[in-house]
A and B are shown apart, each in its own frame.
Chain A
Amino acid sequence: MEEYYILCEDSPEGIFSGIYDAYLLKKPHERIHLMVKEEDNYRLFANYLTCKPDGEKACKVARTIRKQFGLEAYLAIFRAVSSAKEDKAEAVYKTVVTGLSMKNPVKVLENLKDPFVHRVFEIARRVGNETHGHVEFLRFRELRSGLLYAQIAPQNDVLAFIVPHFADRLPLENFIIHDKGRNLFAVHPARQDWYLYSGTEETELLIGEAAKDFSEGEEKYSELFTAFFHTIEIKQRKNYELQRNMLPLKYRKYMTEFIYGNKGL
């Protein structure tokens, strides 16, 4: 029995193109597998194929998923694709196959008995949780120009899921959210649509300099909030473990109240 392994690029476009190519092979789906990273040990009797990301193919697949599975499942699959987990491509591919064979594909993600559907559900939930964590804990700092600048370092590629929330919330502000790990910028000019910008080393240096020059108000309000953060605590109920459960340490690196708090205020 020949097995096929398709190596695709680690991006929504790459994985959706991979799914398109898998269908093109016209072989039983159980024998086709999708990967986003090369294996350390190659298998015997397996065909390794490489899929080149193709906008047109990806769009076709995305459109089919959207149409057949409905918006909610589509978004969940999109979240899963943005995950940092390496088995995501295989899970999404097999979930699409399972879903399209169902009588009512809209309910594909309710089929938690299926191991691949369950995996998509699981990693999509994880990405969703991280997205929500950043919506909660992201902190803007005001630079001298009045621009609001926030840094994040998420495990999964959640930047694009975060921005719409802030674009709706702060329509009159110029703001930038910077994913430091991926060197990705979300830019929102006041009263305009936002866009993603993939930074180079140069932009990183440039923004690094600008981001140290805070406005006058910034110091005042970060001090005020840090003070508020400490006075609002009921000392008789001190419970650091609960605090850590609700607000994991990984988020605290860029949070005003913790940065400021460490300076011994």
Chain B
Amino acid sequence: MERELTQITEIVPREYGEVQVGESALAYGAGPINTAGPVIQNRQEMTLLQKLEILSDAAKYDVSCSSSGVGRQGDGTGIGNTAAAGICHSFAGDGRCISLLKILFTNECIYDCKYCINRKSNDVPRASFTPDEVCELTIQFYRRNYIEGLFLSSGIIHSPTYTMELIYQAIYKLRTVYRFQGYIHVKAIPGADPELIQRIGLLADRMSVNLELPTAEGLQRLAPNKHRKNILTPMRQIQQGITQNKEEIVVYKHASQFVPAGQSTQMIVGATPESDYQIMMVAENLYRKFDLKRVYYSAFVSVNEDKDLPALPGGPPLLREHRLYQADWLLRFYGFEAGELLSEQKPNFNILLDPKADWALRHLEQFPVEINRADYRTILRVPGIGVKSAQRIVKARRNGNLTFEDLRKIGVVLKRALYFITCNGRMMYPTKIEEDYITRNLLAGKEKLPFDKDGMTYRQLSLFDDTMERNWREAVGG
């Protein structure tokens, strides 16, 4: 985009020209108009296109884009439905899915978080939508099947409560006036009035509170205006709201649903020095204690120059992010615990092997597994066998003993699984069950990573040659 975006904003005395807020927004502690300092205001000529560019550009670092977790048919009076599995509608040039219209309500912000492009001290063009503009974009995009719904987050304008009130107005209008029944994901802003979060929860499908950084220390260092406690409070509130709502629905069938698609969170990886072990323990705790649907990990993308931020000449730590997601899946669908994958002594994931293969190599005493006898949970732990394959195996073996050929058809990746399984008491080839031998063979077939072309990974890895070599030695047991 070649447009001169900086020309269209200017600093003027505080007066909301574009942002139309109800009286109630002021009632939530926004204070009398003339006492507030100057704010950046949109000039009249900022078009919807310019706003959309600024506010989607500012929202893109939020990872969550899923539209899953709730299946709902349209009631025939408006527009929209939702699919339980979620639907992606496009894929951007970075390969990430576009499912929701992901925008900020405003990118003005009173906070100064060091990793964030919208931090107060950054000189970037600022813009704000009106509730009507958000509705218009959502409905018109949705009709054309561009999107699956709305993801609305926001910078903090004036105060958390004030900002949430604006968001509430937008989605209230979308749900009631436009009768939109598609997916809505709203960011809960820590520190906002709990009453508002409760009301938004009854309109939204999913809510999320960003944990931002894995530990409280990291948060203190990089986001001086945010506090761990304030972040966990709305997370707990939403969790309790969901539990309570489920009980209500049992009693009153038509009680309105509170955050039916559950809540999620995200944390930035690689901006602070936490180990993978610490991150996985945090994620596990969030799943267990806060009943989260998803924890997203976001490889730190350096957008600001700051002495407290790491320099990442090799680009965002994509491989590390990838390993964390792999491990996250192991926690949620494969019955693993964080403590099994990593420990204080081995705090980081292996660069060369995925966490499941890594675990299997360290537990060779549990292998080989007999495919025609072993229970589902044991089969699930074999590298090269995923959830679907494991389910198919358990069903298909009722009709007779399975052979390696059958496994291949079912979808098992035999070149990985063959070291860990037997069919009818036989292994596929004569192989040694020996860590070095299997490691060598697994590494011979290159792992399929979602990013290795476009010159990203190879360059990136070569910068960490020393760690790579150490990991390599560790992996081959040297």
Contacts and interface: CB of A to CB of B under 8 A. Distances in A.
Interface stretch (B84-92, B160-168, B191-199, B284-292): B84-92
Interface string B307-337: 0000000011010000000000000000000
A241 B93 contact: no
Interface in B36-78: 48-49, 52-53, 56-57, 59-61, 73-74, 76-78
B93 A169 contact: no
B140 interface: yes
A232 B98 contact: yes
A234 B302 CA distance: 11
Interface stretch (B223-231, B235-243, B255-263, B399-407): B399-407
A119 to B, nearest CB: 10
Interface string A218-239: 0001111101111111111111
A112 interface: yes
Contacts of A225: 141, 144, 146
A139 B399 contact: no
B48 A237 contact: no
Interface in B1-18: 1
B453 interface: yes
Nearest to B147: A225
Nearest to B93: A233
A118 B454 CA distance: 37
B52 A139 contact: no
A246 interface: yes
A234 B117 CA distance: 13
B90 A247 contact: yes
Number of contact residues on A: which range applies?
35 or more
Contacts of B305: none
Contacts of B48: 224
Given A223-B49, A256-B146, A231 B141 contact: no
A255 B61 contact: no
Given A110-B395, A135-B87, A239 B144 contact: no
Contact of B396 (A110, A171, A241): A110
Number of contact residues on B: which range applies?
35 or more
A257 B400 CA distance: 50
B144 A224 contact: no
A211 interface: no
Given A137-B90, A168-B74, A234 B79 contact: no
A257 B95 CA distance: 15
B92 A232 contact: yes
Given A113-B406, A136-B89, A236-B315, A229 B98 contact: yes
A242 B57 contact: no
A67 interface: no
18 contacts: A110-B392, A112-B406, A113-B406, A137-B90, A148-B144, A169-B182, A191-B76, A224-B141, A225-B144, A225-B146, A229-B98, A238-B454, A239-B94, A239-B456, A242-B91, A246-B88, A246-B91, A247-B91
Given A113-B400, A139-B145, A224-B48, 16 more contacts: A112-B406, A136-B87, A136-B89, A168-B81, A224-B49, A225-B144, A232-B57, A232-B98, A234-B96, A238-B94, A238-B454, A239-B94, A240-B453, A242-B451, A243-B91, A243-B94
Interface of A: 107, 110-114, 118, 135-142, 148, 150, 165-166, 168-173, 191, 217, 221-225, 227-243, 245-247, 255-257
